[in-house]
Structure 1
Amino acid sequence: MKTYLKEMLSRKDLLYYLVRSGLKAEHRNSYLGYLWWLLDPLLNVLVFYFLIVVILDRGDTENFPLFLVIGLIVWRCISTTLNSSSGSIMRYSSIVSQVYLPKSLFPISFTLTQLFNFSFGFIVIAGFLAWFRVMPGWEIVFLPLLIIIQTTFLLAIGMILAYVTVFVRDIENVLQYVTRAFFYASPIIWEGGRLPPEYGWAVTYNPIAVIVTAYRDILMYASLPNFLGLGIIFVISAAVIVFMIWYYSKNEYKIIKAM
């Protein structure tokens, strides 16, 4: 594993190239390019606001559009990272099969790519905060820590998905239904406290719910996030990353055989 880590560090230029090429490829055929990271949450807010407030006559949360935009932007980062990471090794199969490279670099690069895209979402959130005259409190100092925890969590899941997808190609198809289930099981467009008591576990033990709620606590409610929940997510995710790096170092030859 020590040798493998050294190999990863020696390939940091490749990691930079993968992130840069991923950003370019993502918007290669788009006229608006990175503007979609500004437009997408805005359009999503309009759609869900119309559905929940106008049609269903719900959404009585104070500053509900701000509530929506925070949840939708965080969710977009989570879902796009997981979906792109799952096929990250297969996407570069032509390179992987010809040149030796630490395969774990591929899910790492896709996670960092989506983290860069995620930064555009904060421009939209800042606009909504200004529009509704909501001023975050001193708790905003924990925002970088929250982003690190979220990135660690996504990287852990992404490394697992990237490896498994090489052997089980159906994972990418199944993942879209799994992420959809988590979307509705997490307080993205609804408040966590509105679930019946018997379904409260869907929020309490749901890492996505913990992360999304933490962003709202810091940015919208000027309150401290659930540090216990975030700490558990970080520790488990970090342990999974260490294990997966070890696992990659011992089993990468199987990836070549499966391609």
Structure 2
Amino acid sequence: MRDYINEMVKRKDLIIYLVKSGLKAEHRNSYLGYFWWLLDPLLGVLVYYFLMVILLGRGGENFALFLVIGLVAWRWTNTTVNTSAKAIVKQSSIISQVNLPKAIFPLTVTFTQLINFTFGLIIIAIFLVFSGVVPGWHIVFLPLIIFIQLVFLLAISLFVSYICVFIRDIDNLLTHLTRIWFYSSPVIWEGGRLRGALDTYPWLEWLIILNPFSHIVGGYRDIIMYHSVPSFTGLIIIFIMSLVAIVFLLSHFNKNEHKIIKML
């Protein structure tokens, strides 16, 4: 296990190269290029704001800011999960020629999307200005929430990339699974809006509590727009469980590298 991690560290130049090439490949044939990193979350906010506020007449104070925080955090999660499905498979040409740890590829996917996420923070800052909301001292917790989400997504990326090598059909299901995850998370709706549904279906509350992304996006909103300390109980549990999963998955990668090569 230690040798496997050391081998990954030795390949840091390859990791940096894969991150850079991943960033360039996303909008290689696009006229707007890297501007899409800013435009994509902005368009998402406009669409859902029109749906929720204009058409459905819902949304509370500073709802646009509420939306942009949720959508930017979700975009990092969604793109990481879906891109991780082919993280190893699409690098089969490199894997067949060079002996290197296969876990490198899903890890670079997560770090690539982390850079995209930082551009989304610029959009959040713009909405803060127009909403007249000034974050308090609680903003010091922002790097911590980002780090917890990073560790969480690293665990998911390792799992999804590995399982999709052996069961390719999962790649086709991920779009539908992430859509269900999106609508079951408080990205475009506020917790209070579900009070009637929770009274009728009490089990929905447990679904929200057990949803890791609910705690992560709630942490972002607490420190950015609600001027409060996030609830660290759920976040710490997510962090510890993600670390355990990463250790287990790296060990599993180490023991089954030959099976990955065989399946490719």
Q: TM-score, normalised by structure 2?
A: 0.96
Q: Offset of 1:202 from its aligned partner?
A: 2.2
Shift of 1:2: 1.7
Cα deviation digits, residues 55-81 of structure 1 (max 9, x gap): 11111x111111111111111111001
* Cα deviations by residue, 1:196-224 (Å, 9 ceiling, x for unpaired): 33111122111011111111111011111
1:200 aligned residue (196, 200, 205):
205
Tell me, in whole angstroms, the C-alpha distance in 2 between the residues paired with 1:16 and 1:46.
Answer: 34
Aligned to 1:227: 232
The alpha carbon displacement at 1:91 in A equals 1.2
Q: Does 1:164 align with 2:169?
A: no
Distance 2:240 2:34 in 1: 33
2:219 is aligned to: 214
Aligned counterpart, 2:127: 128
Select the residue among 219, 236, 256 that pairs with 2:261: 256
Distance 2:240 2:251 in 1: 17
Moved more, 143-152 or 29-38: 29-38
TM-aligned CA deviation for residue 194 of structure 1: 2.5
Q: In structure 2, what residue type is equivalent to 1:191?
A: E
In structure 2, the partner of 1:14 is 14
Matched letter for residue 153 of structure 2:
L
Deviation, structure 1 residue 193: 3.1
TM-score using structure 1 length: 0.98
Q: How does 1:67-82 map to 2 (within 5 A)?
A: 67-82=66-81
The answer (yes or no) to whether the contact 1:73–1:118 under 8 Å persists in 2 is yes
Q: Number of residues paired by the alignment?
A: 258
Distance 2:79 2:16 in 1: 19
Query: Structure 2 matches for 1:56-205, cutoff 5 A?
Result: 56-59=56-59, 61-195=60-194, 196-197=197-198, 198=202, 199-205=204-210
| Partner Cα separation in structure 1 for residue 116 and residue 30 of structure 2 | 15
Cα separation, 2, equivalents of 1:155 and 1:213:
20
Instruction: State the alpha-carbon separation in 2 of the partners of residues 6 and 54 from structure 1.
Output: 54
